[in-house]
Amino acid sequence: MAKIGIRHPVFSPITTETQGDSPTYGTGIILGKMTRADENLNYAEGSLYADDVMAEYASILTGGTITVGVDELTLAKRATLFGHSTSTTGQVTTLFAAADDKSKPGGFGFVKTLVIDGVKMYKARWYYKVVFRESQESSNTANDSITFTDTEIVGTIIPVFNSDYGDAVYEDTVFDTESAAKAYIDDMANLPQNASIRSIRPNTRTVVLENGDSVTVTDKTDSTADKTETTEETTATPNIIGGGTKSGK
């Protein structure tokens, strides 16, 4: 089995946690476009030697850490993950990080692209409980070459007790299609149908009509997420009203 890709990082805060049952999750968010996931699972190990040989050995999965890279983590999503507060005035949002802020535990999942016997498959991995924190951040001046860097967050993986499986850490499910794997993660995280990569709200955009009125349009499918992102990132360009074309100089 070869792993050739990774995508669709989704987080959902835990709302209730009942002894003997899996956590209940709130509304999920897409953290961004995923660049990497470094998973390090921890095991408690012990052995007993008798008559000069190993007679007993036990290894128990106790949790672990996961370092996740995304292309960009918006202020609103950082506030959701790390318990920070935000203030918005007009189109400007400010994030406030305080010493007493506490990260919210939640479920975290993503999709791995696999090749099994020459056939592409998609593994949906879901960690039942992860607490993320901000990682070190490094910035460099521009020079004669372009170097892209991602945004890194570090999560502590915590087991949750389930009466069926004991101390459960994660689950894996393999699907034939990417859409099925994403749908599985979305269902686990209670992700809204038209969730946005860039916003904590569904994909919405403001359209200016020819009469000057403006209306808010909600995109209907997840396939428009990148289109909405492009619209948001190019707001500095002239608005094209009524299906006209952009004039050149």
Query: For residue range 199-236, what is the model confidence (pLDDT) as tens digits?
Result: 665 455 555 566 666 665 554 433 333 333 333 333 33
> Which of 63, 33, 43 shows the shortest CA–CA distance to 127?
63
The pLDDT, as a whole number, for residue 211 is 66
> In degrees rounded to 5, what are phi and psi of residue 246?
-75, 130
CA distance 118 to 120: 7
Give pLDDT, residue 69. Answer: 94
pLDDT for 18 equals 82
Looking up tokens 């521009």 gives: 142
**Domain residue spans in the chain?**
2-140+149-191, 198-242
Strand partners, 2: 115
Tens of pLDDT, residue by residue over 15-36, are 998 877 779 999 999 999 999 9
**Three-state secondary structure call for residue 183:** helix
- pLDDT tens string 157-181: 999 987 677 889 999 999 999 999 9
Residue with tokens 């860039």: 198
Phi, psi of 224 (to 5 degrees): -90, 0
18: DSSP letter:
-
What pTM, to 2 d.p., does this model score? 0.77
pLDDT score of 225: 37
Looking at per-residue pLDDT, the higher value among 69 and 220 belongs to 69
Span 119-138, average pLDDT? 93
Q: What is the C-alpha separation between 149 and 140, in angstroms, rounded?
A: 10
* pLDDT given at position 167: 86
- The answer to whether 9 and 124 have CB atoms below 8 angstroms apart is no
The set of residues, in sequence order, having a beta carbon less than 8 Å from that of 121 and lying 6+ positions away, is 113, 114, 115, 174, 175, 176
* DSSP one-letter code for 76: H
Provide the residue type at 220 as one letter.
K
Q: Give pLDDT, residue 22.
A: 79
**Using alpha carbons only, how large is the chain's radius of gyration in Å?**
22
